[in-house]
Amino acid sequence: MERGYRIRSKPNYETLVWKEKASAHVVVAKGAGGMAVLQLFQQMHPVQPVTVFYVRGDSTDKDYSQTLTKLVGDELQVFDTQMEALYAFYRRLPDMKMGTRFYVSGTESFIWSLCKLAALFDIQESEIVKQLSNSLSRPVYCVHCKATTPNVTTNIVACSKCSRKLFVRDHFSRHLGAYMGLMIDAENPGEVPAIEEIYP
Amino acid sequence: MGLAFKEETFRDDYTYRNSLDAIRRFPFPFPEDKYMYSVNIEPHVKGKPGSVLEFPLDIDEHYVSECRDKAITLARDPGRYASLPHMMDAQWDVLELIMESLSRDYPEQFKLTKDGNRWTWQNLPLGIENTFTFGDRSSLPMEPFEYVGRQIQGDWVILDQREGTLFADAGIVTSQADWSLAFDVGMSWHQWHAPVPRATEIGVMDRALKFMMNLQLGEPVRRLNWTMTLNPRLDTSPENYPLWGPDRNHITLDNAGDRVHLRVELQTLFRLPRSNGIVFSIRCYLISLNELATYPRWAKRFHRILKDLHPDLLEYKGLTKFHATAVEWLSRYDDGAPLDIGTHPE
Amino acid sequence: MSTVNVRVAAIEQVTPLVKHFTLVREDGQAFPPFSGGSHVVVAMDIGGRIHRNAYSLMGAPDDTQAYHISVRRQERSRGGSAYMHDNVAEGSVLQITMPVNLFQLIRMGRKHVLIAGGIGITPFMSQLHDLKRNGFEYELHYAFRSPEHGAFSAQLKSECGERAHFYIDSLGQQLDIPAVLSRQPLGTHVYVCGPAPMVNAVLEAARELGWPENHVHSEQFTAPPMGDAFKVQLAKSNMEVEVTADMTLLEALETAGVGPDSLCRGGACGRCELDVLELDGEIFHHDHYLSDAEKSSGKKILPCVSRARCTHMLLDI
């Protein structure tokens, strides 16, 4: 399955920078992604209204909620879980106006969960500024059983639902918000190459 | 038009075979001894009577069994049909295209009568009859694109044109060469073709996109593409890779003639009137090496194509494991003498 | 490019400057249905020279018996609109292309805001059918000079009700574009068709408010501006062609028998784009298709509307 060419569906991530032309700004971050928000607030503060949704980092992730509370103030809402934050974000979408700019930072799983919600309001992922936080871990879609395994750090992973050993391809689906996982030992059952951490 | 539909299978016992007529009309894709990925698009105009290009949409002896195989695949994995919500106008466009085309070109098999928006569709080979209101989703047993997509050979993908590119926003895909609709649905042109090696680099995809964005109403185009499949299996999807992947380990000189198939895709593109979308039809024709070699000219040509194929393409098309065996099998038809240009069998 | 001969079945004087033409096929067959926002290119034989203008289709997209276009008499016209007004009568035969759409509704949109100025109302006449058929949320903003110049305004008022807003310049009614754009919910698309200052005002207001580019849509067909004569050299056909002052580069190439494929002939679709291999002067780009970078590179030209001042321009044709 080693492929000697680059796959162009892989998303590009950038650094959060305020957009100058805007009507409002909405920033959503999780755990270590809070650092990108702190960096954003080092820049000149925009004149338009700003709202920040932040998911507290858990034991495996960094937590910037205290620093953010001091720095951001009333514009900040802090949540304990990703689910709560995304739900709060989603409930606000109907009241938002065109010209609202979106920024997101966190793991790839988090970023694309948010993009899928925004897409329901015809906000395309290309309109959302995305910064990957300190992990390269990937959401991996099992093409065989259709389950997505979040936060995969290795080249090969056991599917969280069907347990097949999946090779993590570079081919990325924005619709699913995940990389394709294809059974590695389908042709030769049991022949699985060494599993290595390559998306730390 | 007399069409005798064959009873055959594309899985398990694999009873699919081509009749002598079907071999003769096979769309052999190699006019020259060398192959490289290219756009090679031409107007989809009427071809010779009896050829696969005689009509805009070709129905052949495999029609009934292929539709039955499609139904099995869809029953086991409903995700082979997908349509994003904004594609409804395009769905009706495709239903109209297919029903009008089949009823006009195969009047003994398919009948369409219209009373204003009240349409009656009869598909005699599959025993289907429905009266429905064109444009009213609730008047059909399922979405219009799925309804008609189950009654036509080949895979169908509908492209939405916006933001200066095309998005694959709907599809019914059951006979694909190793790509996943559930994964690719909603992708833009360049994302969708990302895994094609050497194509993005040489700008082929940019040129093809520009061409397609300018596709005109009433002026469909076509191209041929090809790969190879072991056993006459339509559903070589990544979803079912564990089912068909292991076949690659069991190809020998003795069984290659029977099991190794050249798989040719007749790809056609039509601009859709109401939605301004484009429908992309990928019609698959399978022929075993034994059947192909009934015309030695074809075997000889195919030997030369396969022998010199770029390693990236061998990998991309999944031929690596049995490539050497297939080349050796074909080599006995190749005396090295020059072949004139053209795809004709004799 | 397939074309079809049509007969003018009816002509209606809609305003002092606008005529509405009803076209039927000469061979009696049905037209294909089309998508709202489509246009056709009408070919006219004016004094032996074939003149082609793009006009938006106005009728219901599922009306396959007749196509409808409206033509405003242009004050500084090369003859196309004047010919349609003065020389085309009921029964006249014209040649048109099949519909092409460069201005379609984005069906993923959650709301659609249509902004028209004057004759720019025409593509919206067919888009409104698509909006209603799909049950989409929309509003229409239509600005025109004075009450007698509001083509189809009575019809729109009755068909669209409160969703239609009219702005009559002579009555001092102004369309406040930033105000309209600043109150739109997420997922809105804006479409503008009208005079260049209006189109630019919408593009500018949307940009200032932070609208993403892919939610902003405009259509402008440029009447090809005339200019000084110039000469071009053709690399593949190995010849020289003179472009006279009253002719476009595209028409000059066609007259010489080496015309490239073309569609809209108004600088919008890009079909006639040519590569410029060598150039010792300056290109005057008048199209809406090439990017600013492509324009300043001097390596591409749309011969339907753009011209040059040069002594040597080698085209790859």
Q: Do A143 and A114 reside in the same domain of the chain?
A: no
In a domain, A93, yes or no: yes
In a domain, C225, yes or no: no
In a domain, C311, yes or no: yes
In a domain, A190, yes or no: no
Q: Does the pLDDT at position A123 exceed 50?
A: yes
Whether residue A186 and residue B241 make contact (CB cut-off 8 A), yes or no, is yes
Q: What is the pLDDT of residue C303?
A: 93
pLDDT band for position B191 (cuts 50, 70, 90): confident
CA–CA distance, C168 with B322 (Å, rounded to integer):
75
Token pair belonging to C93: 């035969």
Give the residue numbers of B marked as catalytic.
223
CATH code at A59? 3.40.50.80
Token pair belonging to A194: 């060494």
* Selected residues 130-169 of chain B with any CB under 8 Å from a CB in chain C: 135, 160-163
Type of residue numbered C257 = G
CATH code at C77? 2.40.30.10
Q: Do C205 and C252 reside in the same domain of the chain?
A: no
Q: What does the mean pLDDT of chain B come to?
A: 93
Q: Read off the pLDDT of residues C164-186 as tens digits, 9 standing for 90 and up.
A: 999 999 999 999 999 999 999 99
Q: Read off the pLDDT of residues B73-106 as tens digits, 9 standing for 90 and up.
A: 999 999 999 999 999 999 999 999 999 999 999 9
Q: Do A178 and A93 reside in the same domain of the chain?
A: no
In a domain, A46, yes or no: yes
For residue A175, which residues of chain B lie inside 8 Å, CB to CB? Answer: 185-187
Contact assessment for residue A89 and residue A128, using Cβ atoms and an 8 Å cutoff: no
Whether residue B87 and residue C1 make contact (CB cut-off 8 A), yes or no, is no
Whether residue C182 and residue A94 make contact (CB cut-off 8 A), yes or no, is no
Q: What is the pLDDT of residue A200?
A: 87
Of C219, C240, C271, the domain-final residue:
C219
C180 shares contact with chain A (CB less than 8 Å) = no
Average pLDDT over residues C265-292: 88
Q: What is the pLDDT of residue B200?
A: 53
For residue B216, which residues of chain C lie inside 8 Å, CB to CB? Answer: 1-2, 98, 100
| Shortest distance, CA A161 to any CA of chain C (angstroms) | 33
Contact assessment for residue B205 and residue B196, using Cβ atoms and an 8 Å cutoff: yes
**For an interface test with A, which of B163, B183, B239 has the most A Cβ atoms less than 10 Å from its Cβ?**
B183
Q: Which residue of B has its CA nearest to A116?
A: B186
Q: Which residue of A has its CA nearest to C207?
A: A21
Chains A, B: CB contacts within 8 A come to 74
Q: Do A144 and A84 reside in the same domain of the chain?
A: no
Q: Read off the pLDDT of residues B44-72 as tens digits, 9 standing for 90 and up.
A: 999 999 999 999 999 999 999 999 999 99
Q: Which residue of A has its CA nearest to B245?
A: A187
CATH code at C191? 3.40.50.80
Q: What are phi and psi of C282, to 5 degrees?
A: -135, 140
| Shortest distance, CA A38 to any CA of chain B (angstroms) | 33
Q: Do C204 and C115 reside in the same domain of the chain?
A: yes
Whether residue B160 and residue C107 make contact (CB cut-off 8 A), yes or no, is yes
CA–CA distance, C277 with A110 (Å, rounded to integer):
49
Q: Does the pLDDT at position C80 exceed 90?
A: no
Q: Do C131 and C212 reside in the same domain of the chain?
A: yes
Residues 6+ apart with CB under 8 A from B2: none
Whether residue C185 and residue A99 make contact (CB cut-off 8 A), yes or no, is no
**For an interface test with A, which of C107, C181, C184, C186 has the most A Cβ atoms less than 10 Å from its Cβ?**
C186
Q: Do C45 and C121 reside in the same domain of the chain?
A: no
Residue A159 domain boundaries = 138-183
Whether residue C186 and residue A121 make contact (CB cut-off 8 A), yes or no, is yes
Whether residue A180 and residue B183 make contact (CB cut-off 8 A), yes or no, is yes
Of the partner residues C110, C181, C207, the one whose CB lies closest to the CB of residue A122: C110
Q: Which residue has the tokens 């022929």?
A: B287
A122 shares contact with chain C (CB less than 8 Å) = yes
In a domain, A3, yes or no: no
* Stretch among A117-131, A159-173, B256-270, C46-60 having the lowest mean pLDDT: C46-60
For residue A7, which residues of chain B lie inside 8 Å, CB to CB? Answer: 194-195
Contact assessment for residue C256 and residue C305, using Cβ atoms and an 8 Å cutoff: no
- H helix runs in chain B, sequence order: 20-24, 63-76, 88-105, 144-149, 181-184, 189-192, 204-213, 241-244, 256-259, 289-292, 296-307, 311-316, 320-331
pLDDT band for position C263 (cuts 50, 70, 90): confident
Q: What is the pLDDT of residue B56?
A: 97
Whether residue A122 and residue C187 make contact (CB cut-off 8 A), yes or no, is yes
Contact assessment for residue B318 and residue B178, using Cβ atoms and an 8 Å cutoff: yes
CA–CA distance, B126 with B346 (Å, rounded to integer):
36
Interface predicted TM-score (ipTM) of this complex, two decimals: 0.90
Of the partner residues A21, A94, A124, the one whose CB lies closest to the CB of residue C214: A124
A99 shares contact with chain C (CB less than 8 Å) = yes
Average pLDDT over residues A40-68: 92
What is the distance in angstroms between the CA of the first residue and the CA of the last residue of chain B? 26
Percent of chain B whose predicted confidence (pLDDT) is above 90: 82
Contact assessment for residue B327 and residue B307, using Cβ atoms and an 8 Å cutoff: yes
In a domain, A13, yes or no: no
Residues 6+ apart with CB under 8 A from B113: B119, B120
Q: Do A97 and A35 reside in the same domain of the chain?
A: yes
Q: What are phi and psi of A43, to 5 degrees?
A: -80, 170
Of C177, C196, C219, the domain-final residue:
C219
Whether residue B135 and residue C133 make contact (CB cut-off 8 A), yes or no, is yes
Q: Do A73 and A117 reside in the same domain of the chain?
A: yes
Of C219, C241, C265, the domain-final residue:
C219
Whether residue C210 and residue A99 make contact (CB cut-off 8 A), yes or no, is yes
Q: Read off the pLDDT of residues B102-137 as tens digits, 9 standing for 90 and up.
A: 999 999 999 999 999 999 999 999 999 999 999 999
Q: Do A107 and A164 reside in the same domain of the chain?
A: no
pLDDT band for position A2 (cuts 50, 70, 90): very low
Q: Do A127 and A163 reside in the same domain of the chain?
A: no
In a domain, A40, yes or no: yes
Q: Does the pLDDT at position B2 exceed 70?
A: no
Whether residue A100 and residue C184 make contact (CB cut-off 8 A), yes or no, is no
For residue C108, which residues of chain A lie inside 8 Å, CB to CB? Answer: 122
In a domain, A55, yes or no: yes
Q: Read off the pLDDT of residues C54-73 as tens digits, 9 standing for 90 and up.
A: 999 999 999 999 999 999 99
In a domain, C106, yes or no: no
| Shortest distance, CA A198 to any CA of chain C (angstroms) | 35
Q: What is the pLDDT of residue A6?
A: 47
Q: Do A148 and A174 reside in the same domain of the chain?
A: yes
Q: Do C51 and C133 reside in the same domain of the chain?
A: no
* Stretch among A53-57, B138-142, B287-291, C75-79 having the lowest mean pLDDT: C75-79
Q: What does the mean pLDDT of chain C come to?
A: 92
**For an interface test with B, which of A1, A2, A5 has the most B Cβ atoms less than 10 Å from its Cβ?**
A5
Residue C270 domain boundaries = 230-315
C242 shares contact with chain A (CB less than 8 Å) = no
Q: Do C57 and C138 reside in the same domain of the chain?
A: no
Q: Do A66 and A119 reside in the same domain of the chain?
A: yes
What is the number of domains present in chain A? 2
Chains A, C: CB contacts within 8 A come to 55
Average pLDDT over residues B242-259: 95
Of A132, A166, A194, the domain-final residue:
A132
Contact assessment for residue B191 and residue A124, using Cβ atoms and an 8 Å cutoff: no
Strands (E), chain B: 42-43, 81-83, 110-115, 118-123, 128-133, 155-162, 165-172, 187-188, 221-230, 260-271, 278-288
In a domain, C270, yes or no: yes
Percent of chain C whose predicted confidence (pLDDT) is above 70: 99
Q: Do A64 and A156 reside in the same domain of the chain?
A: no
Average pLDDT over residues C21-37: 96
Q: Do A85 and A168 reside in the same domain of the chain?
A: no
Contact assessment for residue C99 and residue C40, using Cβ atoms and an 8 Å cutoff: yes
Q: Does the pLDDT at position B194 exceed 60?
A: yes
| Shortest distance, CA B276 to any CA of chain C (angstroms) | 6
Q: What is the pLDDT of residue A75?
A: 92
Q: What are phi and psi of C24, to 5 degrees?
A: -125, 160
What is the number of domains present in chain C? 3
B168 shares contact with chain A (CB less than 8 Å) = no
Contact assessment for residue C302 and residue C288, using Cβ atoms and an 8 Å cutoff: no
For residue A187, which residues of chain B lie inside 8 Å, CB to CB? Answer: 245-246, 248-249, 321
pLDDT band for position B202 (cuts 50, 70, 90): low
CA–CA distance, B93 with B133 (Å, rounded to integer):
14
Q: Do A109 and A168 reside in the same domain of the chain?
A: no
Q: Which residue of A has its CA nearest to C208?
A: A21
Task: Give the neighbours of chain B: at least 3 Cβ pairs within 8 Å.
Answer: A, C
In a domain, A147, yes or no: yes
CA A46 to chain centre: 24
Q: Read off the pLDDT of residues C92-122 as tens digits, 9 standing for 90 and up.
A: 999 999 999 999 999 999 999 999 999 999 9
| Shortest distance, CA C35 to any CA of chain B (angstroms) | 4
For residue B219, which residues of chain C lie inside 8 Å, CB to CB? Answer: 1-2, 98
Whether residue C212 and residue A93 make contact (CB cut-off 8 A), yes or no, is no
Q: Does the pLDDT at position B210 exceed 90?
A: no
Q: Read off the pLDDT of residues C206-235 as tens digits, 9 standing for 90 and up.
A: 999 999 999 999 988 777 777 888 999 999
Q: Read off the pLDDT of residues B144-162 as tens digits, 9 standing for 90 and up.
A: 999 999 999 999 999 999 9
B87 shares contact with chain C (CB less than 8 Å) = yes
Q: What are phi and psi of C118, to 5 degrees?
A: 55, -130
